[in-house]
Amino acid sequence: MLSTAFELHSEYRLRVARAGSGSPLVLLHGYPDTLQIWSRLAPNLAESFQVIAFDWPGMGYSEAWPGGATPFHMAERLMALLNAWKIERAVIAGMDMGGQPALAFAARNPERVASLIVMNSLVQWDERTSWEIALLRKFGWNRIALRYLPRLVFERALRTFLPSEQTLDASLRSDMWESFRNRRVRDFIVRMCAGYQGTLRQLAGSYHSITAPVLVLWAGRDKHFPVEQAKRLHSALPNSRLEIIPHAEHWMPLSMPAEVASRILEFLSRNQ
């Protein structure tokens, strides 16, 4: 588990983890994750970078900030944090619902992005996903499931995000579940899902403007976001590299941290 601390930003508590030193590398999580989704990957990256992971405002153990919940609002929060930390340029890495804000941030703030890494995210509004996500998006049933069936959603994530032979250790599972079971967190995620759904087409239209070097790093066995998502993202980005980890599952930073770190570090060594 990553060692964490709470910081105040505009009087709101934000949970943050830091490791290593050097150029900053900021990690953006999705749901039902917390910053601890990076707990096995961060030590590998911290040998070369100052790694910063945080719980998004409104998620994990961070307090919610006022405002919307689209990828563009999330990108604005990332900008506020980088300014508060006096970070002029950083490597930004996002996975799952952290991938879209990373892309939005890079599109709108090219001077602040040294390199970008996007992993296992819904990045094309009209591309194939798992039947579950397609159904939830089409009928809005995710709002019902998130609000009233949190245990079912959480357990389904564990079964489909990790290889069948792997489980979360007790401390990591507790960190994620105690956050996700919080009604305020789930209410924010409901808003976030709606915000992402409503703006994903707009976001995809901005990919061509991203000038930073981008690593599109994908799990070959992602059960929710097939590699077609990655291939189309790669083709839309003018300065990107596509890498597929054939046997990886959605939560590959947990299940294959050494392999993921190796791919990231090799990419960054070429683009510094």
Tens digits of per-residue pLDDT, 108-140?
999 999 999 999 999 987 866 655 666 555 556
Q: For 94-103, what is each residue's pLDDT tens digit?
A: 999 999 999 9
Strands 240-245 and 214-219: parallel
In this structure, of 52-56, 129-133, 189-193, 208-212, the range with the lowest mean pLDDT score is 129-133
Tokens of 133: 């996500």
Cα dist from 114 to 78, 137, 183, whole Å: 15, 33, 36
Tokens of 53: 């992971």
Range 178-194 average pLDDT: 94
What whole-number distance in Å separates Cα of residue 200 and Cα of residue 22? 34
What whole-number distance in Å separates Cα of residue 50 and Cα of residue 108? 24
Q: Which residues contact 3 (CB under 8 A, 6 or more apart)?
A: 17, 19
pLDDT of residue 135: 56
pLDDT of residue 145: 81
Q: SS3 helix, strand, coil % of the chain, rounded to 5?
A: 50, 20, 35
Q: For 219-235, what is each residue's pLDDT tens digit?
A: 999 999 999 999 999 99
Band of pLDDT at residue 146, cut at 50, 70 and 90: confident
pTM for this prediction: 0.96
pLDDT of residue 160: 93
Range 169-174 average pLDDT: 97
Band of pLDDT at residue 271, cut at 50, 70 and 90: confident
Range 22-50 average pLDDT: 97
pLDDT of residue 166: 92
Backbone angles phi and psi of 175, in degrees to 5: -60, -45
Tokens of 168: 């979360």
Task: Give kind and range of the element (H or E) at residue 13.
Answer: strand 12-19
Q: For 60-73, what is each residue's pLDDT tens digit?
A: 999 999 999 999 99
Range 166-178 average pLDDT: 96
Which one, of 28, 37, 33, lies nearest residue 2 by Cα? Answer: 37
pLDDT of residue 11: 92
- Please indicate whether residue 116 or residue 149 has the higher confidence score (pLDDT): 116
Q: Contact, 6 vs 13, CB < 8 A?
A: yes
Backbone angles phi and psi of 242, in degrees to 5: -105, 125
Q: What does the mean pLDDT of the chain come to?
A: 94
What whole-number distance in Å separates Cα of residue 118 and Cα of residue 108? 16
- Please indicate whether residue 252 or residue 127 has the higher confidence score (pLDDT): 252
Q: Is 82 helix (H, G, I), strand (E, B) or coil?
A: helix
pLDDT of residue 147: 86
Statement: residue 201 has pLDDT above 90: yes
pLDDT of residue 111: 98
> Which residues share a beta bridge with 26?
52, 92
Q: In percent, how much of the chain has pLDDT > 70? A: 94
Distance from the Cα of residue 169 to its chain's centroid? 21
Which one, of 141, 262, 267, lies nearest residue 194 by Cα? Answer: 141
**In a 10 Å sphere around its CB, with 0-12 CB exposed, 13-18 middle and 19+ buried, how is residue 90 labelled?**
buried
pLDDT of residue 128: 67
pLDDT of residue 90: 98
Q: In percent, how much of the chain has pLDDT > 90? A: 85
Distance from the Cα of residue 75 to its chain's centroid? 12
Range 11-35 average pLDDT: 97
